[in-house]
Amino acid sequence: MKKIIFSILGCVIVAFISLTFPVNCFGQPFYFPNKLYSDSNALYKALPNLAQQVITAYKDSSNSNYFKNAYHYQIEAGHYDKGLQFIDSARKYSEENPGSKMIGFQSGAYALAKQQSINGKVSFEEAYKNNFPLLYNGLSDYEKIHIEFDVDTGLISTNSDIFHKTIDSLRSKKIDSINLDDARKLIQDYNMYVINRTIFPLERPFLDKTTLKIT
């Protein structure tokens, strides 16, 4: 009889925890109201918390893939220092490949300026404009050419289209939850959309003055 009672209590406790703390550690979807997809301000405010849950749940047997993906979630959760550490780890796992410093280059530059501007002593824009030339000059010519190619204002429109298509797809499911894979895609698409539209206008004036150009 005691075993039955303890079993029932255990089930109740597990159910309570899963409802109160919707963490995807056993494959359950995260609670994420569908109405958020129709309210951009509410959605943007909800994404850092979703990113924190993804950080807890996300695993990958490949260290290289793990760090390449997980830095997005760290940055969206506001863990800029951790995001920079993850970008550094992702590069180390790929350092035998040419252009390894390009991994997370834009995201890392964004996270660094965000981190420096938290205390309010310097603005994000000022920090970014100060950092970018130093980061850029630390690249090889091969990497610089790729950065030059990537910093295209047309890409901002592409990022926007991808992000909003993801939102439309999730809205159409009409459910108040999101699985781990969809949450990861939503965060990464949003991350690229926000970062690129923020930093490209700050980078372009500097790049226009560089002598290394795509031919």
Segment (H or E) for 75: helix 63-76
Buried b (16+ CB within 10 A) or exposed e, 143-163: bbbbbbeebeeeebeebbeeb
12 domain residue, yes or no: no
5 domain residue, yes or no: no
- Report which of 215, 209, 87 is spatially closest to residue 137, judged by C-alpha positions: 209
- The domain containing residue 130 runs over which residues? 30-208
Report CA 197 to chain centroid distance, whole Å. Answer: 14
182 domain residue, yes or no: yes
1 domain residue, yes or no: no
20 domain residue, yes or no: no
Q: Are 186 and 166 in contact (CB under 8 A)?
A: yes
CA 84 to CA 205: how far, in whole Å? Answer: 25
pLDDT score recorded for residue 120: 86
- Walking along the chain (215 residues) 10 residues at a time, the average pLDDT comes out as 45 41 59 98 98 97 96 98 98 88 95 94 96 94 88 87 98 98 98 95 92 61
CA 206 to CA 87: how far, in whole Å? Answer: 24
| DSSP annotation of 61 | S
138 domain residue, yes or no: yes
pLDDT score recorded for residue 27: 66
CA 204 to CA 121: how far, in whole Å? Answer: 25
Total domain count, the chain: 1
102 domain residue, yes or no: yes
pLDDT score recorded for residue 77: 98
pLDDT score recorded for residue 97: 83
11 domain residue, yes or no: no
Q: Are 136 and 144 in contact (CB under 8 A)?
A: yes
